[in-house]
Amino acid sequence: MVLNFSDQEIQEIESVGLLHDIGKIAIDEAILNKPGKLTDAEYEEMKRHPEIGYRILSTVNDMAEMAEVVLNHHERWDGKGYPRGLKGDRIPLQSRMIAITDTYDAITSDRSYRNKRTDLQACEELRKNAGSQFDPQLVEPFIKAVSAAGLTGQ
């Protein structure tokens, strides 16, 4: 799959990449920084952040499309995501892209609950979840882009 985006579309994807977790501003810091596994109630609270982000961005002129991408960035290819349980191509393309990049970033960054893993391990995890969590047509182009940037050697 070749992704031919205009410069404006690339800028919009970059912007939504920066804003996709804006809804976490309303999530209790104790939940965001918890070193261990979240309780069911804490996880339910955390799952609210896409809808909160959607509401925040929806109030800003010219951000309606970005708001929609933010709302759907935790949807899964197999329909088991949240908040709406969208499946496959019903998930906006940009949301599917953000899901992959966000997961890659999460895996390759230190978190309060675990140490970062290597770029190679992150790519393996993405491949393992292609077709379930992630759009299988987007995983390999992402990994090729990461490889071209020289990130998968670690």
Q: Which residue has the tokens 């999460």?
A: 106
Report the pLDDT value the prediction gives residue 78, as an integer from 0 to 100. 98
Report the pLDDT value the prediction gives residue 76, as an integer from 0 to 100. 98
151 pLDDT tier (thresholds 50, 70, 90): low
How far from 57 is each of 16, 28, 51, 152, CA to CA, in Å? 10, 20, 10, 34
Res. 58: pLDDT tops 70: yes
Measure the CA–CA gap between 128 and 1, rounded to whole angstroms.
Answer: 19
Which CATH architecture fits 7-148? Orthogonal Bundle (1.10)
**pLDDT (tens digit per residue) in 62-81:** 899 999 999 999 999 999 99
Q: Which residue has the tokens 């935790």?
A: 74
- The model carries a pTM of 0.89
